[in-house]
A and B are shown apart, each in its own frame.
Chain A
Amino acid sequence: MQQIVVIGNGMVGHKFCDLFARHPRRHAFQLTVFGEEQRPAYDRVHLSAYFTDRDADKLSLATREWYAENQIELRTGELVTELDTANRQLGTHLGYEMHYDYLVLATGSVPFVPPIPGKEKSGVFVYRTIEDLDAILDYAAKLRELPGARSVVMGGGLLGLEAAKATLDMGLPTDVVEFAPRLMPRQLDEGGAATLTSTLEGLGLGVHLSKSTSAVGGNGCITHLDFSDGSQLEADLLIISAGIRPRDELARKAGIEVGPRGGILADEYMRTSAPDVFVIGEAALYREMIYGLVAPGYDMARVSLSTIMADADGGCMPESIDLSTKLKLIGTDVASFGECFPEPGTARSIVYHDEAAGIYKRINVSPDGSRLLGGILVGDAADYNMLHQIYKNAMALPPQPEDLILGTRGSGGDAGAGIMDLPDAAVICSCENVTKGTLCGHLSAEQAHSVKDLVACTKAGTGCGGCKPILSDLVENYLKSQGRVVRNTLCEHFAYTRQELRDLIVLKQLRTYDEALDELGHGHGCETCKPALAGIFATVYAETANPQAAIQDTNDRFLANIQRNGTYSVVPRVPAGEITPDKLIAIGAVAKKYGLYTKITGGQRIDLFGARLDQLPPIWEELIAAGFESGHAYGKSLRTVKSCVGSTWCRYGMDESVTFAIEIEERYKGLRSPHKLKGGVSGCIRECAEARGKDFGLIAVEEGYNVYVCGNGGARPKHAELLAGPVDRQTAVRYLDRFLMFYLRTAGPLVRTAKWLEGLEGGIAYLRSVVVDDVLGINEELETEMQGLVNGYRCEWKEAVNDPALRARFRPFVNTDEAEELEFVALREQKMPKPW
């Protein structure tokens, strides 16, 4: 049996072990791994996730048990200090010695700390290991008691910006200092970096460019940085993220050839200058470069293992390594791929830049326009996966390459290639090196039917996870191409889509959940189909959440939003955010009387937190007496129509946006829908109401209103698209009636308008043809249905407090009048639930 030794138990070193464990000829070898850190390999790519919960287990790539089960000897906390390549011997700092037949150096890198005076002061950190993060967290916790404490990150690269996000999240105002004249100088051009800078500044991050730090100031602890231009910056915590240096000291000492600026020299099989000694990961210098990304490191692990195993189909490293990356930075996406900065004359660039929206896209195509060479995406990287595939597979471009980033304008249809046009050799998951052909093979052999199955069969998507959207596209398109209908049926109790169920309920005039289950379903229902059907009854019969309370989701059942400790929050409707002083006082009086925590919501209303279940009816009696109605903040329903103050007060206003927003909110209040619905009305193009971040938005222009639909904020922000305009108010309302009713009829459960539009074949152009041009001939019907729902509106809180039977559900215990015992703690003159 031959002995393989891996030095280093980082991500790449572990990948080698993982591949080894699965290799058919592994039993001819014994594998021993040395790790310098105490814990077994963990995920450094997602290191900053540690800041949210400090749970190291979540980052773990493998347990000690895994190593034991796979008969791999793992020795952590042990540093290899001696290496004799002539006799194939190594020794550790503990005095342990062993022989190897093959040696794999996966020693990784260390953060580079420039030789700045004062860098040893306390409060100065690097950002690489879990221990580094622990030290930062502990220090930041102490700083929180120091008023006005600030953090600074030195280095505006990928890792530096991650670190900056982390300290921002810790509640420390943060600055980023970069030596180069722009952020992410290796990935972004000037335009992209400028866009990123203004987005980050908008989020409260300070950005200082072209700054060379001359000293770390402070007496023992850091207090500020001095720059060579004479300026200073306050800093109570400094994270240095100024690049990496390969760990080559062991190899250097053993006489293995290293590069002039560090890094262990490797050939295309990852062999070093010493016989049967390999190098992989960030310690390797391959083609005069060090690769700090995980995908090339994994490739190196694969290549070195198959060289050792003498695999027939082993292969070697490609000549040029793909450095494409996509990452989610602080609230924005950034991606770059291929040739980002081509030499003048070798490419033509197409740039799309929307300053207001913080979007910058650049693609570089060959001078004849036939091939995609590379590109940069900032602010919106939704196209990244497709563009990256087109680039990697040298696929043919559409006649107007700009369609790739702008989408086709005018006639419908998608730009460029679809997933099914990719060649089988296209690598979909570059971390695990899984091709489209492999994935389709599993699908066609019926071994996989879903993304989950594919992940289980191939490990695709288990690395950085960036290919997951493409995997789900692949599954859906594959099934479609096989003539199989992809049916999003509701759950095990109803084999219909929401749209089909709605049609059947209308057709058969079914009025209750049990009737529908008897007629159309089987079994006894669940937490998925009950609220979905409740929503259908609401959109067909204008039914409130009261008659069938038992099938409502908890929030609808109790007409309030359940919060962390089982208390509820109460949001009265404040149409368009306009409220009289008397009503403000009334809300204040109720909050005071019941001891509620009050906060202004993002939808221009007031949220009252901490109400016990039994307090909800008396609270609402008082609110109703003061003229309030339910705000439906708890429902999949119309929430608010946000407004700016408009021409009644604003010197720029083109129309009375508040008046129009009130009219619209009053019209659609109580409307239940597949998901929550938000609207906005802005009085001019300055868009202070953020109407384009809503499901429907109206923006006043000289000649009337532009009508936008299908936007949202939240986790996947999307701007609403122009449906029609400019039109007069009456026409705008008619379009909204039709649009909303069409959405209510056809969307799946919990699908918001933006996602619904994505799934509509033909997109916004098709939606426009239905809503504006009436190609389906259903507009009269849609308007009548909507008018029926508008006429059927009742305040469900009024219903609930006035009917003793409905009110009984707010009693906390059936068998006693005792109140619930809940614990609160003080928070800035108000209260909050006692922490978990």
Chain B
Amino acid sequence: MTAYQTILPNQVTTWFRAGRTDQFPVGAGATIKYGQRQIAVFYFNRTQRWYACQNLCPHKLENVLGRGLIGEQDGVPKVACPLHKRTFSLETGENLNGDCPPVAVFPVRIEGGDVYVGFID
């Protein structure tokens, strides 16, 4: 869990190229590997926004969030863990329907048809 820290856009020192935009599903998530860490990347086609968070669900510590359904709650983009349906804000990482610890979220940038995720190391 300590391996994942939320990164704000102004803190980014490394923009890591995660793949071409067309390698990611539309309206759902997929997973990338950054070193030993697993990052879930989501494309919200209806708002044309991209989000990223740790793939590890803090509830039972399984690497599954990238396979969860995405959606919106009162305007906040969220992902639902496929194991027990805990939902997490993709803006702040907080658990929206329980008292799980938050997930780390990462900035995403699209440039020239490529998807970049921001890190500080």
Contacts and interface: CB of A to CB of B under 8 A. Distances in A.
Interface of A: 492-493, 514, 517, 523-531, 549-551, 553-555, 557-558, 562, 564-566, 613, 809, 812-816, 818, 820, 836
16 contacts: A492-B74, A524-B46, A524-B71, A524-B72, A524-B77, A526-B73, A526-B78, A526-B80, A527-B85, A554-B67, A562-B83, A566-B83, A813-B31, A814-B24, A820-B63, A836-B61
B33 A815 contact: yes
Given A524-B72, A527-B87, A814 B46 contact: no
B63 A554 contact: no
Nearest to B38: A813
B82 A530 contact: no
Contact of A566 (B45, B62, B87): B62
Given A524-B44, A524-B46, A524-B71, A564 B32 contact: no
A551 B61 CA distance: 24
A366 to B, nearest CB: 51
User: Which of B32, B45, B61, B82 has the most chain A CB atoms inside 10 A of its CB?
Assistant: B82
A309 to B, nearest CB: 37
Contacts of A550: 25-28
Closest 9 CB pairs of A and B: A526-B71, A554-B82, A550-B28, A527-B80, A527-B69, A550-B27, A524-B72, A814-B19, A566-B64
B31 A814 contact: yes
Contacts of B45: 514
B72 A558 contact: no
A489 to B, nearest CB: 15
A528 B80 CA distance: 10
B78 to A, nearest CB: 8
A803 to B, nearest CB: 15
A609 to B, nearest CB: 15
Contacts of A528: 71
Given A566-B62, A836-B61, A812 B71 contact: no
Contact of A549 (B28, B46, B72, B74): B28
Interface string B1-45: 000000000000000011100011111101111000010010011
Given A514-B27, A814-B18, 4 more contacts: A524-B47, A566-B64, A812-B31, A836-B61
Contacts of B18: 814-815
A784 B81 CA distance: 39
A551 B70 CA distance: 9
A566 B55 CA distance: 11
Chain B at the A interface: SS class: strand
A697 to B, nearest CB: 31
Contact of A557 (B38, B67, B74, B87): B67
A526 to B, nearest CB: 3
Given A527-B87, A814-B18, A814-B19, A558 B69 contact: no
Contact of B64 (A525, A562, A818): A562
B52 to A, nearest CB: 12
A495 to B, nearest CB: 15
B118 to A, nearest CB: 15
Contact of B27 (A529, A551, A565, A566): A551
B46 A531 contact: no
Nearest to B45: A514
Contacts of B26: 550
B71 A814 contact: no
Contacts of B61: 836
B93 interface: no
Nearest to B28: A550
B68 interface: yes
Contact of B71 (A527, A565, A809): A527
Given A492-B74, A566-B64, A814-B18, A554 B69 contact: yes
Contact of B25 (A525, A526, A809): A809
B31 A523 contact: no
Contacts of A553: 69, 82
Contacts of B75: 523
Contacts of A492: 73-74
A798 to B, nearest CB: 21
Contacts of A814: 18-19, 23-24, 30-32, 41
Given A549-B25, A551-B27, A815-B19, A525 B62 contact: no
A565 B62 contact: yes
B72 A526 contact: yes
Contacts of A514: 27, 45-46
B32 A525 contact: no
Nearest to B31: A813
A492 B78 CA distance: 14
A704 to B, nearest CB: 44
B71 A815 contact: no
Nearest to A530: B69
A791 B103 CA distance: 45
Contacts of B74: 492
Nearest to B29: A550
Contacts of B68: 527, 554
B110 to A, nearest CB: 14
Most chain A beta carbons < 10 A, residue from B67, B71, B85, B87: B71
Contacts of B85: 527
Nearest to A529: B71
A554 B30 CA distance: 12
A505 B101 CA distance: 39
Contacts of A524: 44, 46-47, 71-72, 77
Contacts of B23: 814
Contacts of B67: 554, 557-558, 562, 566, 613
Contacts of A813: 31-33, 38
B62 A564 contact: yes
Contacts of B19: 814-815
Given A562-B82, A813-B33, A814-B23, A531 B69 contact: yes
Contacts of B70: 527
Interface string B42-66: 0011110000000000001111100
A555 B17 CA distance: 29
A125 B88 CA distance: 45
Nearest to B68: A554
A751 B80 CA distance: 21
A812 B30 CA distance: 8
Given A526-B73, A815-B19, A836 B60 contact: yes
A677 to B, nearest CB: 22
Contacts of B28: 549-550, 557
B72 A525 contact: yes
A555 B64 CA distance: 12
A524 B47 CA distance: 8
A529 B71 CA distance: 9
Contacts of A562: 64, 67, 82-83
A510 to B, nearest CB: 16
A493 B71 CA distance: 10
A566 B33 CA distance: 16
A584 B11 CA distance: 57
A291 to B, nearest CB: 37
B77 to A, nearest CB: 8
